[in-house]
Structure 1
Amino acid sequence: MATVQSLPAQPFKLDAPASNLVAFESFDLPSSNQKILGPPHPTDTVTPLALKPLGDNGAEVDLDNVINTVKSLQGQGGILSQRLARHGTLLFRGLPIHNAEDFSKFAHAFGWTPHEIIGIVVNRPVLAPNVAPANEAPKEVLIYNHNESPQVPHAPEYIFFYAHRVPESGGETPISSSLELFHRAQQEIPEFIDELAEKGILSRVLYKPETQYTGGSTLKQAFGKEIQDGDDEATRRAKIEAQIARYGRGKYTKWEWQDDGGIVLTHKLPAIRTQPGTNLPTLFTGLAAYYKRFLASESDAAARKNVTEQLFGDGTPIPGKYLAHLAKITDEIRVLHKWQRGDVLVYDNIISQHGRQPWQGEQEDRVIMASLFDGVVPGAFIPEEWAQVVPALEG
């Protein structure tokens, strides 16, 4: 299990034991793109930790050598996993990654288990093994900082993003610490954290047979992987309910079929988790993004408002002042990653939040691909039964 206390601060070099492998060195980014994390992170911890091939003089390194280097470093006690557990996000720059296939090979080299997406709320067509578009929402839509899949029980631990095409203006990917967010919120709005810990979150998601907004998923995409074209309605519903049961939470998961063939799925979930290896509390949530979505006036954002509802676990509304305060803290602790073509960002989804800024130009000016992987399920902040979350059942 990864630890964070014993790792030295940067600068540093990751040496490969064989001559044909690649050594990575850390490098500094502009202050607008990199920051020193606040408590409870160890002193002088930066995010993202930026890495590039040592001695990079513009000549392209060999992708197979890069892949073998990653495998070697992970084979030495999970060196890259340890770095990620400390910094929350890693940036790899200067690698020979040019397409979805290259990206897939690099991501799989870390040795983690590909994440099976169940209950997806956005459309992610497969581009290569375990690779899909990051998000295809219109370029005007702000996707504010959040942990991946906080509204469902089955969330990935590791997220890779690869910049295949980048816009001239905008389109940055935010980075912020869920550990720092919890620490600040506990100091500044302790009554909210206490209530959140006691009650958890009631997450209601509406799935419909048709796409509800641009880039959104259908009910079949979310839960219909076993559905065949000739299935009747009763069979389709049974197969969807079987998928829900695979990642549901027993009595803490409920669903209700709608007259139009859609379904409302409700989970009671913990918004406060703990990082494996440190037991530090992390605010694993999309509540600030949920709040920002309700402030938006665009018609597409308005459609998104009807898809997900976030309440306290007892069904009472969460006061807007607390959501606004989470957004205020997030604005103060986040950085915006300005992409260069070929960049790869790796997030520890338990402790690091991401998002997407709007951009100028055309929709196709920004092409970011994503690859999701499972790791260790984060721990529960409180001992109550409802606060325990386990991986999805084998299907």
Structure 2
Amino acid sequence: MNAPTTIQRDLRAEFPGLVTSEGKPWHYLDTAATAQKPRAVIDAMARALGEDYATVHRGVYARSAEMTLAYEAARRKVAGFIGGTEEELVFTRGATEAINLVANTWGRVTLKAGDRILLSQLEHHSNIVPWQMIAQQTGAVIDVCPLTADHQIDLGAAEAMLTEAHKLVAFGHVSNVLGSVLDAPRAAALAHNVGAMLLLDGCQSAPHMPVDVAALGCDFYVFSAHKLYGPTGIGALWARAELLADMPPWEGGGAMIDRVTFQRTTYASGPQRFEAGTPAITEAITFGAAVDYVESIGLGHIHANEQALVARLRRELGAMDDVTLFGPEGSAGIVSFTIDDIHPHDLGTILDEANVAIRAGHHCAQPLMDYLGVPATARASFGVYSAEADIDALMAGIARTRKIFGKG
């Protein structure tokens, strides 16, 4: 957490994926979907799969013991990255599984007919569908909080909507489409005032700004490694220790047990209760390496750089009469927009010809697209390696696209 706020090195050179097969720069503006991987993370994965590899928690031989220490050290590192402790952090296959875990453990034993869940209009499908599924099974009801005029979760409306029947508020900390940043401490206070829990989807916040779960006041926090310059296939659920202690396991198998007989089984305590089977050993260790990498740069530096890029791109796009911008001015590393009479898919395809990669589509947020009244948006999203040259290439590509469509 005490990383430097400035850095004197060419970060782009540390990401081998940012060069095309012809050796040209690849202007990658889709970090909100998944981040490119630095050489340090790639090397950590290679070591974990190679000379360091062994199973964990079982072997009595030296390498297994060393791998177990590395695996649990990664848990401490990932937990500490968001201000938590190792007893509060469960490794999952990603943020999607983390939300499903909460729904199928805490939700299954807590929710009953007539209880209510509050979501917002900007949620990713992963923070909608699991709650719909558990609501259908328990008889709970889902409410949807609207957005403000500048596309932020309307906490004034949330306050008016919340009642003692609400047991959970599940909000995106940062929208993957709009980049809008939730006032999480206020959301936590509103939820707790009616006795509800607060779950935050931190996929777009943990890689881009300092996070302290205690200061945020949330009860559950989820995020994924691959958006944090780490590997796919692993993520994390942070939960208050007393909540984890009361949550039943949701998958059975090895590693999550205390004692098994054919008559009954008792379960391990803490995070291990939720990690059935052989864990994602190499992925967890590489997750920790990604945390090390981000902390070596400093989230303050990362956030400041991305804010400057967002401000410039919004300013240049906003000067075009045929462009509609979505989200607030101070969005976190994300700019979504549409150009009149040019479908985002067409824009993305033409940009790709110039080695510029953006995302075009509904971004796994179809209810938000309906709310905005568009079928899709173009989305440019920044990462630690993003620079002014990426915006230069994007704007040149947009100019070319507009000319192709007879708009330039």
The TM tier, using the shorter chain, reads under 0.3
State TM-score, norm by structure 1: 0.24
**Higher CA-based Rg:** 2
Q: Report which of the two has the higher share of strand.
A: 1
Bigger relative CO (Cα 8 Å, ≥ 6 apart): 1
State TM-score, norm by structure 2: 0.24
Q: Report which of the two has the higher share of helix.
A: 2
